[in-house]
């Protein structure tokens, strides 16, 4: 399937590792010029170099999007060689805290990193998409937006805000060929997740090898229809679809890629 991304320019925030890296890599493989963004120079350059070695085109933009000044710099680098057609707001973070541990300051800093950082990039890039009458804004959300846990409440709430702002943006873009949508991952098997589960698995009776640990961990922590963790490239594939011409009629939608973890029909 030809996604028609050749000649497009895509900024993927938080793409120096994990889901962002998988998204940047797939968009580059589909022919887009990708601006790889991160806060750590070595990690961000590694992803860009990997894309280039595979025959893709990658540009590095460094900066902490929790500040206006850094957002200005990232946007400047992204726009230096041409307009940005695709914005993937992936950057974010959380700390695993209880309600007692999540102070108001923690709530505020998490909201800044996970919500306002995305708004900063939308404000800097989406108006130009509207002027050209073509563009894609994709927000990476999460199942905890719909089905929050009792832990890390400050993070759960920011995911709900990310979903909400993406739909609001879609309504704002009515009548244009610029779309805004959400990809909502379930529990994804990034390196940190595998390390954590492998570390705690034996003590919890899940087994000694990954083949035994994974299904037991899934059943205990994140029961879903597929019986496994998701793969980063499965999120990347959903993003690539939303960026393509095939998704021209998809507006304000949430595509759940979670193996059936979220049980609701809507």
**Alpha carbons 103 and 156: distance in angstroms, whole number:** 14
State the pLDDT at residue 218.
94
pLDDT at 263 over 80: yes
Is there a contact between 14 and 90 (Cβ–Cβ < 8 Å)? Answer: yes
Reported confidence tier of residue 223, pLDDT bands at 50, 70, 90: very high
pLDDT per residue over 150-198, tens digit each? 999 999 999 999 999 999 999 999 999 999 999 999 999 988 889 989 9
Residues in contact with 210: Cβ distance below 8 Å, sequence separation at least 6, in sequence order? 194, 198
**Alpha carbons 138 and 225: distance in angstroms, whole number:** 26
What residues are annotated to the active site? 155
pLDDT per residue over 46-82, tens digit each? 999 999 999 999 999 999 999 999 999 999 999 999 9
> Where is 174: in which H helix or E strand?
none
State the pLDDT at residue 70.
97
pLDDT at 1 over 90: no
**126 half-sphere exposure, CB direction, 13 A CA radius:** 23
pLDDT at 265 over 90: no
Reported confidence tier of residue 203, pLDDT bands at 50, 70, 90: very high
pTM of the model: 0.95
pLDDT at 87 over 90: yes
Q: Tell me the pLDDT of the chain averaged across its residues.
A: 96
State the pLDDT at residue 200.
93
**Alpha carbons 185 and 255: distance in angstroms, whole number:** 9
* Class of residue 149 by CB neighbours under 10 A (exposed 0-12, middle 13-18, buried 19+): exposed
DSSP per-residue string spanning 120-135: HHHHHHHHHHHHHT-E
pLDDT at 144 over 80: yes
Residues in contact with 190: Cβ distance below 8 Å, sequence separation at least 6, in sequence order? 17, 18, 19, 232
Mean pLDDT of 104-132: 98
Give the Cβ contact number of residue 193 at 10 Å: 15
Is there a contact between 114 and 158 (Cβ–Cβ < 8 Å)? Answer: yes
**Alpha carbons 127 and 120: distance in angstroms, whole number:** 12
């Amino acid at each position: 399937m030809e996604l028609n991304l050749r000649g497009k320019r895509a900024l993927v925030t938080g793409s120096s590792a994990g889901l962002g890296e998988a998204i940047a890599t797939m968009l580059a493989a589909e022919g887009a010029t990708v601006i790889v963004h991160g806060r750590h120079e070595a990690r961000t350059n590694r992803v860009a170099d990997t894309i280039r070695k595979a025959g893709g085109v990658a540009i590095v933009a460094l900066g902490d999007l929790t500040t206006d000044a850094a957002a200005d710099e990232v946007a400047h680098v992204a726009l230096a060689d041409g307009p940005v057609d695709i914005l993937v707001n992936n950057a974010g973070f959380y700390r695993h805290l209880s309600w007692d541990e999540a102070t108001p300051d923690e709530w505020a800093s998490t909201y800044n990193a996970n919500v306002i950082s995305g708004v900063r990039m939308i404000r800097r890039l989406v108006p130009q998409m509207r002027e050209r009458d073509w563009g894609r804004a994709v927000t990476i959300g999460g199942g905890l937006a719909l089905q929050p846990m009792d832990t890390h409440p400050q993070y759960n709430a920011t995911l709900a805000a990310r979903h909400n702002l993406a739909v609001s943006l879609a309504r704002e873009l009515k009548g244009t060929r610029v779309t805004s949508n959400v990809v909502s991952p379930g529990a994804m098997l990034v390196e940190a997740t595998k390390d954590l589960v492998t570390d705690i698995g034996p003590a919890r009776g899940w087994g000694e090898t990954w083949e035994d640990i994974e299904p037991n961990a899934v059943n205990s922590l994140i029961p879903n229809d597929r019986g496994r963790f998701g793969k980063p490239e499965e999120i990347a594939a959903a993003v690539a679809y939303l960026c393509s011409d095939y998704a021209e009629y998809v507006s304000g939608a949430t595509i759940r890629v979670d193996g059936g973890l979220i049980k609701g029909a809507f």
